[in-house]
Amino acid sequence: MPLDPSYVGRSYPPTKPYLVGREKIREFANAIGATDAAYHDPEAARALGYTDVIAPPTFPTVVSFASNNAVVDDPDLAIDYSRVVHGDQRFSYTRPIVAGDELVGRQTIAEIISRGGHDFITTRTDITDAGGAPVATSWSKLVIRGEG
């Protein structure tokens, strides 16, 4: 049965604050082979005007991936995760994530489309800092493959 489009607009409680560690950013940068000094060396990041090392562009996935679970585990949607593939991903940035940030993700269902026996659900994660100021927004389109 196609996913009910009336769930568009549903939002989920904010995630618990995620404290961004300097070593976590280094670990993430190393895992993707990113050697820019600003990801590794606080002095290099300070020279660019940041208080500590900054994170590579796709680092918000560490926060949005976790907050996406609220949608994937929503019993009303009853998504079969074994049929889910990641279709599209978009990030929009107010500023880079900086070590020391306490980030909160707020998840909303932005779009639901059913086509060719497959469902497409786009979730939006608004990532803010401890003071509630915007840091980045992430949109993930998940494809739920039909059983045909």
Partner 1 sequence: MDLPTKKYPVTRADLVRYAGASGDFNPIHWNDRFATKVGLPGVIAHGMLTMALVGRAVTDWAGAPDAVVDFSVRFSRPVPVPDDESGTEVEVSAQVKGTTDEGHTVLAITAVCGGEKVLSQAKATVRTSRLGK
CB of 31 to partner 1, least distance (A): 4
Contacts of 82 (CB under 8 A, 6+ apart): none
Q: Residue 100 is which amino acid?
A: G
- Kindly tell me which of 16 and 86 has the beta carbon lying closer to partner 1: 86
Cα–Cα dist 124/138, whole Å: 6
- Kindly tell me which of 33 and 131 has the beta carbon lying closer to partner 1: 33
Q: How many CB atoms lie within 10 A of CB 108?
A: 16
Cα–Cα dist 50/39, whole Å: 11
- Kindly tell me which of 66 and 77 has the beta carbon lying closer to partner 1: 66
Summarize as ranges the residues that interact with partner 1 (CB under 8 A): 24, 27-28, 30-34, 36, 38-39, 48, 50, 54, 56-58, 61-62, 65-66, 82, 85-93, 95-96, 139
